[in-house]
Amino acid sequence: MDWVALRVSLWLAAGTVALLVPCGVYVGRFLAFHRFRGKLLIEALVTVPLVLPPTVLGYYLLVTFGARSALGRAFETVVGHTLPFSFEGLLLASVIANIPFVVQPIQRGFEAIPADVRDAAACCGLTPWQRFLRIEAPLAWPGVVTAAILAFAHTLGEFGVVLMVGGNLPGVTRTLSVAIYDRMQAFDDRSAGVMAAVLLLVSVATLMITTGLSRRVGLRRG
Amino acid sequence: MRMALSRSIAGPRHRWWVSAVLAVSVLGAWSGGGPSGASRIAAATSSPQRPRVAAAANLNFALTAIAEQFARDHGTPVDLVFGASGTLTRQIQEGAPFELFLSADEAFPRRLTSAGLTRDAGAVYAIGRLVLFAPRGSALTVDEGLIGLGRLLKSGGVTRFAIANPDVAPYGKAAEAVLKKHGLWDAIRPQLVLGDTISQTAQFATTGNAVGGLLAYSIVSSPEIAERGAFALIPAGDHPPMRQRMVLLKRAGPVAMQFYEYIRGRAARAVLGKYGYEVP
């Protein structure tokens, strides 16, 4: 059992959620409440990672940030290493791959808030910030929880992008899903089996905890 | 909805924010402190300059054994990352932080050398051999001249035959040469399953998902694989020699250099010989 790989996986998932959910709330809310020219294009761009093969994302990240691109070399001089084959690079890839999983549920959550509720809140003299915190956020919360669950679970299972952008570096970019593949390649079926079972358990537990959480939110709201 | 509205105004529920933040930080504490935490753990379990070695998949068993011996003799472990030589070359070109690269051929290291990414032209450390492998219960009978394979092919008994992808894995290229030499290439092409690496190819063949395959001798000669079927060694003259070259990359540190010399040393050569390589 590769505990370091599990740690990398959990960090990647937690990091993706932490970075993406706040941005997702902003973007999702904006898309829910505003009509503007080109909204269709923005929505398509937000959704495109959902239908894009991981290899396409991997290709663009490598071409854009690889050691042979100007951007990649600039990054290397500043930070000291290239973005691909580092944890940060993996996090960036994971954030991009998870955009639709986060923005869509949050957008639906905000869209479900009736316009008269928001109007009433405005009439009560609440500032936009108060309206967001006290009215909108509590109502859209299930969407936000769903977004976090999806991003977390999806990142744990991410494989293609990780292998392409991250390589297979132990302790840095070898996530549990890649470690399973690696062990299979090494004919170490026993370790692969143990890790697959652990990943299954962690995934089911995550989903149980978070769905339970969101259900309690729903119940308490009445 | 109305109730929700009034309650929200009366007492905003910040608790869910709080619990989410708590959950993330608990997770964080448990996982040990972020990517820096990950490297801290790596540092705790090893010396800080533990070098990463990229190696062709055919070395999976042999190099693992050599690295264990090296760690015992020198007290400095190395991290081994196995993959297809072509894939690893690509990753090194894109800046992957490897210090030493052991290829399954000479062309990929040469490409890195001409791109100015290596210290020097490196050295040939082993010459690989191919075997025709048939898993237990397969209809394929193995022989060094591929006569059984040709016969089975003609009778339509070959549904799946595994070789490594010739584009990224040198062992695949050699397999292609062998099949062409025996005039089987065109007939067998629709039946080929291509592994990304020679170990994935072996995975296909040894699990019985293919009637057989052309595999690396170094993988088949490990006891756990050998017992899964029968194999015949392909004569070295039937394909271009698989001279396997290794190169130290520009970022190589002292431990990687030590390991490089160790692979050329007597102890490692004995291990390579045991796994069926010819040693130059």
A211 pLDDT band, cuts 50/70/90, is: confident
Of the partner residues A14, A72, A85, the one whose CB lies closest to the CB of residue B91: A85
User: Residue B226 has which token pair?
Assistant: 């050998």
- Paired strand residues for B80: B53
Query: Are B69 and B268 a contacting pair, CB within 8 Å?
Result: yes
Of the partner residues B5, B37, B94, the one whose CB lies closest to the CB of residue A68: B94
Q: B280 at the A interface (CB within 8 A)?
A: no
The fraction of chain A above a pLDDT of 90, given in percent, is 45
For B61, nearest residue in chain A (alpha carbons): A186
Of the partner residues A87, A167, A185, the one whose CB lies closest to the CB of residue B199: A185
Gap between the terminal Cα atoms of chain B: 80
Examine residue A81 and state whether it is found in any structural domain, yes or no. Answer: yes
Measured at the alpha carbon of residue B62, what is the angle toward residues B270 and B141, in degrees to the nearest 5? Answer: 105
pLDDT value, residue A220? 54
CA distance B230 to B221: 11
- Nearest chain A CA: its distance from B170 CA (Å): 17
Mean pLDDT (chain A, rounded): 89
- Nearest chain B CA: its distance from A96 CA (Å): 18
pLDDT value, residue B45? 41
Examine residue A127 and state whether it is found in any structural domain, yes or no. Answer: yes
Provide the whole-model pTM. 0.79
Examine residue A36 and state whether it is found in any structural domain, yes or no. Answer: no
Q: Considering only residues 113 to 132 of chain B, which have any Cβ-Cβ distance to chain A shorter than 8 Å?
A: none
pLDDT value, residue A101? 93
Range of the domain at A183: 3-30+45-221
Q: Which of B2, B5, B250 to mutate to test the interface with A (most CBs of A within 10 A)?
A: B5
Total domain count for chain A? 1
- If one counts every other C-beta atom within 10 angstroms of the C-beta of residue B181, the result is 15
Residue A6, pLDDT > 50, answer: yes
Examine residue A26 and state whether it is found in any structural domain, yes or no. Answer: yes
Nearest to A82 by CA among A91, A92, A90, A72: A72
Q: Look at domain B130-233 and name its CATH class.
A: alpha beta
Query: Are A192 and A5 a contacting pair, CB within 8 Å?
Result: no
Q: Which of B91, B198, B250 to mutate to test the interface with A (most CBs of A within 10 A)?
A: B91
Higher pLDDT, B13 or A152: A152
Examine residue A194 and state whether it is found in any structural domain, yes or no. Answer: yes
Q: How far is CA B56 from CA A185, B94, B154, B169, B278, in A?
A: 12, 18, 34, 8, 16
Mean pLDDT (chain B, rounded): 85
pLDDT value, residue A197? 93
Q: Considering only residues 162 to 191 of chain A, which have any Cβ-Cβ distance to chain B shorter than 8 Å?
A: 167-172, 182, 184-187
Q: Going residue by residue through chain B (280 aa), what tens digit of pLDDT does each one get?
A: 343 433 333 334 444 544 554 454 444 444 433 444 344 334 334 445 689 999 999 999 999 999 999 999 999 999 999 999 999 999 999 889 999 999 999 999 999 999 999 999 999 999 999 999 999 989 999 999 999 999 999 998 888 999 999 988 899 999 999 999 999 999 999 999 999 899 999 989 998 889 999 999 999 988 888 889 999 999 999 999 999 999 999 999 999 999 999 999 999 999 999 999 999 8
Nearest to B113 by CA among B128, B96, B94, B93: B93
Contacts of A134 in chain B (CB under 8 A): 8-9, 12
Q: Considering only residues 134 to 163 of chain B, which have any Cβ-Cβ distance to chain A shorter than 8 Å?
A: none
Nearest to B42 by CA among B9, B83, B77, B86: B77
Residues composing chain A: 222
One-letter amino acid of A151 = A
Of the partner residues B38, B52, B222, the one whose CB lies closest to the CB of residue A7: B38
Inter-chain CB proximity B94 and A67 less than 8 Å: yes
User: Residue B162 has which token pair?
Assistant: 């595994």
One-letter amino acid of B165 = N
For B220, nearest residue in chain A (alpha carbons): A187
Question: Quick one: how far is CA A62 from the chain centroid?
Answer: 20
In this chain, the answer to whether the domains covering B47-127+243-274 and B130-233 adopt an identical fold is yes
Contacts of A76 in chain B (CB under 8 A): 95
CA distance A39 to A46: 10
Residue A2, pLDDT > 90, answer: no
Report the CATH number that the domain containing residue A141 is assigned in CATH.
1.10.3720.10
Q: A84 at the B interface (CB within 8 A)?
A: yes
Query: Are A7 and B41 a contacting pair, CB within 8 Å?
Result: yes
Q: B9 at the A interface (CB within 8 A)?
A: yes
CA distance B1 to B9: 12
Of the partner residues A14, A15, A171, the one whose CB lies closest to the CB of residue B39: A171
User: Residue B89 has which token pair?
Assistant: 């070359």
- Which stretches of A37-139 are assigned E, i.e. beta strand? none
Examine residue A129 and state whether it is found in any structural domain, yes or no. Answer: yes
Contacts of A14 in chain B (CB under 8 A): 24, 27-28, 31
Q: B79 at the A interface (CB within 8 A)?
A: yes
Stated as kind and residue range, the H or E segment containing B265 is none
Query: Are A182 and A168 a contacting pair, CB within 8 Å?
Result: yes
Three-state DSSP class for A189? helix
Provide the sign of the torsion angle of the four alpha carbons A87, A89, A93, A99, taken in this order.
Answer: positive
Q: Which of B6, B8, B40 to mutate to test the interface with A (most CBs of A within 10 A)?
A: B8
Question: Quick one: how far is CA B67 from the chain centroid?
Answer: 15
Of the partner residues A11, A117, A124, the one whose CB lies closest to the CB of residue B38: A11
pLDDT tens-place string over residues B134-189: 999 899 999 999 999 999 999 988 889 999 999 888 999 999 999 999 999 999 99
What lies within 8 Å, CB to CB, of A29 at 6+ separation is A106, A107, A110, A132, A136, A140
Residue A136 backbone dihedrals phi, psi, to 5 degrees: -75, -50
Residue B118 backbone dihedrals phi, psi, to 5 degrees: -115, 165
Question: What residue spans define the domains of chain B?
Answer: 13-45, 47-127+243-274, 130-233
pLDDT value, residue B14? 44
CATH architecture of the domain covering B47-127+243-274: 3-Layer(aba) Sandwich (3.40)
Stated as kind and residue range, the H or E segment containing B162 is strand B161-164
Burial B20-44, CB ≥16 within 10 A → b, else e: beebbeebbeebbeebebbeebbee
Q: How far is CA A47 from CA A92, A103, A143, in A?
A: 17, 8, 16
Examine residue A37 and state whether it is found in any structural domain, yes or no. Answer: no
What lies within 8 Å, CB to CB, of B67 at 6+ separation is B53, B77, B78, B80, B259
Contacts of B229 in chain A (CB under 8 A): none
